[in-house]
Structure 1
């Protein structure tokens, strides 16, 4: 079934206005992330990826993670737009989450600025905030977008969205 986009209110973006192929842009939002009760990221240097039907995905400089938080994880995947992804485990405060993050070490030319930047699943850590607002994870186990009040859907990942 074809989704019915939610009309954005002033100050909001509709994911149905995002392009395909996706677009990469700098984000001015302040990103904070906690795991195991420890703040593992405090960053103002993110990029965001905007793709039709998906809430933005945020990519952070690896250097903005606390030392020792990131460790290589098994597996990889391929994005038709960004290239081959490598996976990372996150560990802090006595908690370890295998495969909770990913990066593109050698992305396609259009995504070259995020080489070595790290994205993560908001639902696999304690808390993620953008400019102090708590983030809601994108629905589904595969997608890693971050939902905030300024983004409206419906979002890829909900039941019935496989064919979108």
Structure 2
């Protein structure tokens, strides 16, 4: 296993290697928009992000802020040792349906209550995700849902060879 080499942090940037484990949940003053199927399915400033060592932030948005009919129950569940049991949601807009492209924690574990009634979306499954008008780059791989913006540096878990980090 190759140890990651921390990237240099520039002005206005933060390193994912300064993020904690267990993860931290925090409110942020950011505007987040998501587009799918040629439609905007959410535009909100009620934003919470989860920060975990080696991962770009995962943004959680209020279920109530999504366009009506854009979220529906999906197949599958998973369990996070910190946040608890997650359920998956399908995301749809226009003629596009993306199965299990979002998730939430209906009854998050203690310390993560702020995630209740919020949804995280895999950015790679959407047409576009934006944070303060900056287009998000999805975290590498298809397991994690981190959002990479120019103000966050890695290297990021999910890239080939990062399984053991």
TM-score, normalised to structure 2, is 0.98
Separation of aligned partners in 1, 2:126 and 2:28? 21
Match of residue 159 from structure 2: 158
Q: Offset of 1:46 from its aligned partner?
A: 1.1
Q: Offset of 1:10 from its aligned partner?
A: 1.1
* Segments ≥4 residues shifted beyond 2 Å: none
Aligned-partner SS, 2:111: helix
Counterparts of residues 4-153 of structure 1 (less than 5 Å): 4-153=5-154
Separation of aligned partners in 2, 1:28 and 1:84? 27
Q: Offset of 1:27 from its aligned partner?
A: 1.4
Separation of aligned partners in 2, 1:98 and 1:136? 20
The one-character-per-residue Cα deviations of 1:13-48 (angstroms, maximum 9, x if unpaired) are 000000011000001110000000000000100100
Aligned-partner SS, 1:90: strand
TM-score, normalised to structure 1, is 0.99
Aligned-partner SS, 1:109: coil
Separation of aligned partners in 1, 2:32 and 2:13? 19
- Structure 2: give runs of 5+ residues left out of the alignment: none
The one-character-per-residue Cα deviations of 1:57-113 (angstroms, maximum 9, x if unpaired) are 000000110000000001000001100000000110110000000000000111001
Aligned-partner SS, 1:110: coil
Aligned-partner SS, 2:140: coil
Q: Offset of 1:116 from its aligned partner?
A: 1.8
Aligned-partner SS, 1:113: helix
